[in-house]
Amino acid sequence: MVSPRCLPYQKVLYLTSERAQQKGCAMFSKSQEMAIAHFRGPAIVLAGPGSGKTTVITHRVKNLIQKNHVDPTKILVVTFTKAAAENMRLRFKSLMAGRSLPVSFGTFHSVFFRILRTEKNYQADSLLSDMEKINIIKEIIIRLKIDVASKNDFTRSIMDDIGKAKGNMENVRDFSPITCDKELFIKVLDEYEREKELSNKVDFEDMLRLCYELFKDKPHILKKWQEVFEFVLVDEFQDINKLQYEIVKMISAPQNNIFIVGDDDQAIYGFRGSHPELMFEFEEDFKDHEEILLTNNYRSTKAIVDMASDLIVHNHARFAKDIQAVGEDGTPPDIRIFKTQKKEVEATAQMIKKYIKNGIKPSEIAVLVRNNIFIQNIRTIFESMNVNTYTKTKTDTLTNTMVYKDIKCYLKCANSWNGGICNDVESFISIINKPSRLISREAVLESGANIEKLKEVYSHDREVVSNLDDLNYHMTMIKNLNPYGAVNYILNVIGYEKYLMSYANTQGKSFKK
């Protein structure tokens, strides 16, 4: 979607107050004032798109401190991303004339980790990173010889299934996965949990479960954190899962000073286990709650808001709301359908060139995409059509590509190679099955990346033993080559180039030397 004359991001953030003042309106709408003034007890703020929810949250925190004299250390504001938490913190700091008050702004991840670090001495290296998760799942695919069209797609999808199963407070063995059949899912899950245990690490879902069990089993610790966070504000509540919700309720009790802000119409993370229906459950759990609707849209034109409203009204399981645009009527959206993504991107590039020719600055044109996967393809086509692009999102620059990272890991392994032992285990794990040598991550960890010990583990499999002998020989050779020769050896002798061709084919991509 192309949006000419888009407002710069920072202007969008502060649009609520600016637009209201331009139109001679009060600083806040009546609904915003009600939300900001709310003091004690549960409240749900149904905040439509562009309704100034961040403004409401930050001003409510300010109001709690300045008008209600709440200790800033007793206020917790929870968001779903680091970027949102940091934006909220900066907005609040600006609101307080640059003063840094000790209000806790954080993600669910950071808040639960803080609790576990305090109560159970967890450290940063106890947490399993996304990349470690991906590597574990890919090793499991190899070990279980799972036949998948795309290893990357399967990995991402089953990671979502695992997170969803563990976050919904149900027996994971009763969970119905979307990635594969239940039997295979359980096998992958069991292997994943075993790998985590071997590496002595926990993932995000484990952190949730550990916090929940800690609070449930040790009331005195729960009471301590209830006293630490007397006022709890949750942003983007529609994205919450069952386990997160239960923990938030536990921390908020017994005073129940819980203030949730969300919009069930904007719930897009069901595949990750979010449950927008928990907004309805909130109403049942807290029957004495105050409900506030923010229905003014300060961000979009009337034409855009009306079109979106006509579409979303077909979703019947929702809170009824009548979103109204505060801005001008605007040009009706131009909706087009294309047969292929390539044709869509080419047409978009032509449209941009037309805008620029008509005097619109390139910096005033934005392209929004569904996810980061498509960005590099779009940039490639745009640049071939002489349309320059800029993005804050990290795309595949040379040093960020899989090929660069793999070659680098091969060179690091060779450099640390000593008598059949690799002293860089992490790099060794990264390349051990590129190309496939049928060797598991678990075996590498147990052997300490020692070829002879690995041969003992796989003594029953002649093919794997032969692969290990070849690898030992290759690493010894690479260690004695100059960089140019080493890269060529990796590509042509080891067979990494053939591996790339096969990989490109499974991904439905072309391979270019």
Whether residue 233 has pLDDT greater than 90: yes
More confident residue, 153 or 433: 433
What's the whole-number mean pLDDT along residues 239-250?
Answer: 93
- Strand ranges, E, within 296-435: 296-297, 324-325, 365-367, 417-418, 421-422
> pLDDT value at position 507?
61
Mean local confidence (pLDDT), 27-54: 92
φ, ψ for residue 330, nearest 5 deg: 80, 170
Answer yes or no: is pLDDT of 3 > 60: no
DSSP for 317-342, please give it.
Answer: SS-----EE-S---PPP-----SSHH
Q: Is 257 helix (H, G, I), strand (E, B) or coil?
A: coil
Mean pLDDT over 293-313 rounds to: 86
pLDDT at 191: 94
Nearest 5°: phi and psi at 27?
Answer: -60, -40
Q: In this structure, are residues 64 and 93 in contact, taking their beta carbons and an 8 Å threshold? A: no
Integer Cα distance of 76 and 162 in angstroms:
28
Q: What is the model's pLDDT at position 126?
A: 86
Could you give the 3-state DSSP secondary structure of residue 418? strand
Cα separation, 249 vs 284, in Å, equals 13
pLDDT by residue (tens digit) across 256-294? 999 999 887 776 555 444 466 888 899 999 999 999 999
Residue with the larger pLDDT of the pair 265 and 385:
385
* CATH no. of 9-119+207-298: 3.40.50.300
**Is the per-residue pLDDT at 5 higher than 70?**
no
At residue 23, the pLDDT reads 40
Mean pLDDT, residues 293-309 = 87
Is the distance from CB of 377 to CB of 409 less than 8 angstroms? Answer: no
Bigger pLDDT: 507 vs 451: 451
Helix axes 496-506, 402-415, angle to 10 degrees: 150
Confidence of residue 145 (pLDDT cuts 50, 70, 90): confident
Structural domain spans, the chain: 9-119+207-298, 128-200, 341-395, 399-506
Mean pLDDT of 166-193: 88
Residue type, 314: H
Task: Give the model's pLDDT for residue 101.
Answer: 92
Categorize the per-residue pLDDT at 384 as very low, low, confident or very high, splitting at 50, 70 and 90.
Answer: confident
